[in-house]
Amino acid sequence: MDACTIQNNKFDGVLVSTNYTPPLITASSILNNGIVGSTRTYFGVDIYNATAVVRENTVQGSLYGVVASNFGTVYGYRSGVNEYGCNSVTGNTYGLLAYGDASIEFGDGAGGRGAYNTLGDNTAYNAVAGNSSCIWAWENYWGQQAPPTYLMTYGGSSIYYDDRLTSPPGGCGAGRSSLVVAGDVRSTDPLTLAEQAMTLADFPMAERILKDVLSKSVDFTSTRSAMLGLYRLFNLTRDKGIREYIEGVVLAGKGNETLVQELAMNMASGTGEIDNAQAIAEKLRKANPGTDVEMRALIHLASLRFFSTSKNTVSAAAYKDLAALYGEKVSPGLLNVLAPAATVAVGKMSTGADAVSLSAQEYGLSAYPNPFNPATVVRFTLHEPMDVTVAVYDALGREVAVLLRGPQVDGVHSIQWNGRDQAGIHVASGVYFIRLSANNLAGGYRGISTQKILLMK
């Protein structure tokens, strides 16, 4: 492929998959491909389980610029030929991305092969390597974003960026410097890196980073952030070792005891230890009257009935105190979910005076399988065209993900929920609610139906 312009495509600009003869992509403009912010990720150049050579191209305006994945390899030079890469990968969200035992060679340190690329001025990272991958980027120009900034690695990966150019490679020639900064590059913010590792399901990496932060932190803010990160990791993995580590932090005198007790309360209910969760919540409430800690403890006590019907009385009493003490601070939607009279199990939750409470059967709202792991299919029926929103909420009434929003024709509809939140991160096991809200397109009618579902891991 030579001297082409590929732009404004909805999906990948160029996709090479499982090839035997490496294609040569040269002198082309690959611009504004993929939809930034969509539920899938799209690339300017995507080399998946394949090999390709890219030279003298401009890749700009995509979510990811040049990508090698699943044992894919991208070369900035032809085999056996010492030629420069001369690509410009700028103005993307992520410039280079190698993940899944993949590699990108934009300058391999051997006589300038594949080098002299312009790789700076991407908005998030200029280069990312993950899950046992590597990026070689010797002798390239990084603009104002000089390494090691705007680079990230995770999962046993590396980025090498020695001999940076001090000016754009104009004509792929002059401007070398001898500055050497070798690199298995790490994010400058370990908590951000841990979050990204969880997003990519690299849980061992996330655990290592968070424990490292806790072992070195001397201030409450970083300790609290690392603890919350570990709690989230526990929710994703249900690893008892992580739970024991969190609980051991208090015994070691590290961090804030109230925070750790709150985490322990949530972990206990999440693993079915309802009596233990109740005991911790009651202890927290007693020790922290008139504070947000008491409010959160009451919320937890009021939600225990979702985990066990034996806690109906406890939850009813907690709800009464919650409404009396913190009714102005707690959102109406959450109070509606927690109210003992709200039969959310069959979908009769109202969220406003103008809403019509409907049973799940009104729209044929269902989810199958239920309980489920890892995904369930939500189905509903409309008897007329309507403006519909289908969203997932947790047991505390917090919105987890929006599955559908917009005008829909009459008839049967189905949509899958894969157990991930709006950011694409796996959620914890537990009770969730599918809420369907439907508005007549003329604006004269509003109905809401809710269905309880259970995610089991």
Contact 23, 53 (CB under 8 A): yes
pLDDT tens, residue order, the chain (457 aa): 877 888 877 677 888 876 556 678 877 788 777 654 444 456 889 888 888 889 888 888 888 899 998 888 898 877 556 678 888 898 888 899 998 888 898 887 555 677 888 898 888 888 988 877 888 888 888 888 777 778 887 777 778 877 678 887 765 533 222 222 223 333 346 676 676 666 556 677 778 888 888 777 667 677 777 887 887 787 667 677 887 887 777 556 555 677 777 777 877 766 678 898 899 999 999 999 998 889 888 988 987 876 677 888 998 899 899 888 988 887 665 676 677 754 333 233 333 333 333 433 456 788 877 777 777 888 888 777 778 889 998 877 778 899 888 777 777 787 888 888 887 788 887 788 888 888 766 555 556 777 888 887 6
Question: Whose CA is closest to 394, among 259, 263, 309, 299?
Answer: 299
Q: What single letter denotes the amino acid at residue 381?
A: T
Rounded to two decimals, the pTM is: 0.42
Residues 6 or more apart whose CB falls under 8 angstroms from that of 258 comprise 284, 287, 288, 293
CB 71 within 8 A of CB 101: yes
Pair 427, 233: CB distance under 8 Å: no
Question: Contact 302/323 with Cβ under 8 angstroms?
Answer: no
Domain 345-455: state its class. mainly beta
Under 8 Å CB-to-CB from 141, ≥6 apart: which residues?
A: 116, 117, 118, 119, 120, 164, 165, 166, 167, 168, 169, 175
CA distances (Å), origin 112, targets 89, 165, 182, 424:
18, 12, 17, 39
> What is the structure's pLDDT at 343?
39
Tokens 């109210």 — which residue? Answer: 339
The highest-level CATH class for domain 200-338 is mainly alpha
Token pair for residue 180? 């050497």
d(CA 78, CA 258): 60
CA distance 447 to 119: 52
Extended strands (E) in 148-199: 151-154, 158-160
Residue 378's pLDDT is 86
Domain boundaries, the chain: 5-188, 200-338, 345-455
Question: What distance in Å separates the CA atoms of residue 147 and residue 134, rounded to the nearest whole number?
Answer: 16
